[in-house]
Structure 1
Amino acid sequence: MNEFWSYWYFHLPNFVLAAVMYTLIGRLVLGFFVPENWDNFIWRGFRFVTDHVVRAVRYLTPEVLAQPVVLIFAALWLMALRLGYFVMLFNAGLAPGATAGN
């Protein structure tokens, strides 16, 4: 538990980004089986968590791409963001497992 709080600035953003990334993947998979305007509470939860990220990625991607492709790109961007955040903290010696002498 002490390890978690020692590196809270790494673990909390990483957890949030991972949760949104995996929710995007869940939305992608579930989207193959249900319509986009389905009124189920689980589907609404997926959309509530991921719509902001999807909107941002949709703004950056060409309009000709279908929604499932945008969801894949959004998950990949979040994965890259998580990796970049870890590398930045590791190079600064602030990540878990990084030595302060580097």
Structure 2
Amino acid sequence: MDIADSFARYWYFHLPNFVLAALMYTMLGRFLLGLFVDADSPNYIWRFFCRLTDPVLTAIATVTPKAVPPAIVWLFGFVWMFWLRIVLHYTLLVLNLAPRLAGGGS
């Protein structure tokens, strides 16, 4: 099975996994960039990171205590996205719907 066939066959795994990974690493990038850039910076990369992650961080902030600084909420977002990817993969493995390695191992 080649890569294109794998993607077409398991799109329900690859697409959500890609979106969660992109959000996860964008939140990590936002945290790291936030160490150097002001919160209201006009930097276009910073604005992109904020625009992409703000909806997810709003949801995460509702379950996070208000006393937590925003940078820690960004790290919580990274961890939540990581665990959502693990749950997605595990669920699809249990349901026997996840992609598996081709060929038998010994």
- The percentage of aligned residue pairs carrying the same residue is 44
Superposed CA deviations along residues 46-75 of structure 1, whole A, max 9, x for unmatched, are 001100111111111000001111011111
Could you list the runs of 5+ residues in structure 1 that have no partner in the other structure?
none
The alignment of Structure 1 onto Structure 2 pairs a total of residues equal to 98
Q: Match of 1:23?
A: 26
Q: Does 1:76 align with 2:89?
A: no
* TM-score normalised according to structure 1 size: 0.93
What is the identity, as a one-letter code, of the residue corresponding to 2:63? L
CA RMSD of aligned residues (A): 1.0
Q: Match of 1:57?
A: 60
Superposed CA deviations along residues 5-62 of structure 1, whole A, max 9, x for unmatched, are 1100000000000001000000000000010010111111000110011111111100
Q: Match of 1:3?
A: 6
Could you list the runs of 5+ residues in structure 2 that have no partner in the other structure?
102-106
- Greater relative contact order structure (CA < 8 Å, 6+ sep): 2
* TM-score normalised according to structure 2 size: 0.90
Moved over 6 A (4+): none
